[in-house]
Amino acid sequence: MSIIAAYSNDPGVPDSGSARAAILLLAVGSQGASRILKHLSPEEIRIIRESAAKLPTVGPEQIDEVVDDFQSYFKKGAALTGPAKEMAELLESALSREEYIAIFDPDSRDPALADLAEMGREGDVWEAIAAMDPPKLARKLLAEHPQMVAIILARVQPEMASAMIREFGSAMRNDVMRRILTLKPLQYTVQSVLEGQIRRNFVAGGGESEEGGSHAFLAEIVNRLDKDSSEEVLESLRATRPKDAEALEKLLFAFEDLPALPLKSRLTLFDAVAPDVLVLSLRGASQEIVDLVLSSLGARARRMAEAELKQDSGAQKADIDGARRQIAKEALRLAGEGKLALREQAEE
């Protein structure tokens, strides 16, 4: 049973169960409240905060009635002279400033999202976010706090995250990506509240984030950006977080990096890529890369590839770029499985 329900019939204190819950939280302070908050839903936390704003001065005798069943020493607690102010201070101490802003700041609501009011149930907020158009969602996020943006980007697929990142200006893009690197695991209650806020602001209108995982996730995003954008991100990180930039660079790989692959790794990679994808990726590529790839193929496969390259396929640039991304993605996948090394020095 929730705190709100448990105190709904207690005499001698305000009739509202949520008001009594607010008194309890204010009486036990931030440390005790943090334990209680873990057992409340996001909606209950919002209701309690609203109730605290309406409370008059609360006397010690009223506090006694609320907390008597919890700890006897609370019976001597001081009066709560300003419940609204104290509740705000308590929540600000329990949450980081950025999390507090992300949850309770009313200034970033977007009425254009009202047509999505029926989307999303309690458990599918991220599925609903994933179904949205990345550029459109990115434009909505421009009005949000960068910490909220980082949390959302860290939860969607890298393909979607990179599509959204492209819509941001360089300053915001670099800020958000630095925040992704430093994201820490959220407490269950905080995560639930944030998901509720995201649901209301974006859908209706978090897994662990260890440093290594943040680097890997950010690498997946950067690997999908164009060369200029990815280099800009790296330059920003080199200036502000050189160690993170160094760790990130080790996880990056693009089609243009094929010459850096050791011979054994190239053979492994090209064996895993469909011949038509490989040939398509070579159209318009530098002669160095064309020669390198062809020299890594078997005699028969090489002859077939050379014959196809001599023909005008009329391939679109988007298709060629897609083939190159597919090869880079396959290289990263195989490297992640320990089947190839992305750099010569990485091999024994």
pLDDT digits (tens, 9 = 90+) for 134-155: 888 888 888 777 887 888 888 8
Domain co-membership, 118 together with 221: yes
| Cα–Cα distance for residue pair 324/329, rounded to 1 Å | 9
Domain that holds residue 30: 3-94
Residue 29 lies in a domain: yes
Backbone angles phi, psi at 250, to 5 degrees: -70, -20
Domain end point (choices 66, 94, 122): 94
**CATH number of the domain that 295 lies in?**
1.10.220.30
pLDDT at 79 over 60: no
Q: Please count the structural domains in the chain.
A: 3
- Angle 158-165/146-153 helices, nearest 10 degrees? 150
* Residue 102 within any structural domain of the chain: no
The two structure tokens encoding residue 116: 């999505």
Same domain for 136 and 181? yes
Same domain, 216 and 230: yes
The separation between CA 67 and the C-alpha centre of its own chain, rounded to angstroms, equals 39
Both 231 and 282 in one domain: the answer is no
Q: Which tokens go with 7?
A: 């105190």
241 neighbors 186 (Cβ within 8 angstroms): no
112 lies in the same domain as 90: no
**Amino acid identity for residue 66 in this structure:** V
The residues near 315 (Cβ < 8 Å, ≥ 6 apart) are 280, 283
**Shared domain check, 242 and 124:** yes
Domain boundary among 196, 218, 249: 249
CA torsion, ordered 209, 210, 214, 220, to nearest 10 deg: -80
Cβ(103)–Cβ(94) under 8 Å? no
In 3D space, the residue among 308, 299, 311 whose CA is nearest the CA of residue 277 turns out to be: 308
Q: Which of 79, 77, 101, 107 is nearest to 88 (CA)?
A: 101
User: Any idea what the Cα angle at residue 193 is, between residues 187 and 102, rounded to 5°?
Assistant: 100
Which residues are registered as beta bridge partners of 19?
none
**Two tokens at 202?**
């974006």
Which helix or strand (DSSP H or E) is residue 170 part of?
A: helix 170-182
Residues 229, 305, single domain; the answer is: no
Same domain, 150 and 244: yes
Is the same domain home to 127 and 215? yes
Domain CATH for 37: 1.10.220
Check whether 277 has a pLDDT greater than 90: yes
pLDDT at position 234 is: 81
Is 239 inside a domain boundary? yes
| Residue 171 identity (one-letter amino acid) | A
Looking at every residue in the chain, the average pLDDT score rounds to 73
**Considering Cα of 1, then 188, then 128, then 116, what sign does the dihedral take?**
positive
Domain match, 125 and 241 both: yes
User: Could you tell me if residue 101 is inside a domain?
Assistant: no
* Whether residues 331 and 203 fall in one domain: no
pLDDT in tens, 1-29: 344 444 444 445 555 677 777 877 777 67
Q: What is the mean pLDDT of residues 36-47?
A: 75
Instruction: Convert the pLDDT of each residue in 88-97 to its tens digit.
Output: 666 666 666 6
What residues have CB less than 8 Å from 323, skipping those under 6 apart? 277, 278, 280, 281
Gap between the Cα atoms of 331 and 91, Å rounded: 46
CB 235 within 8 Å of CB 244:
no
Residues 56 and 28 reside in one and the same domain: yes
Integer-rounded Cα Rg, in Å, for the chain is: 27
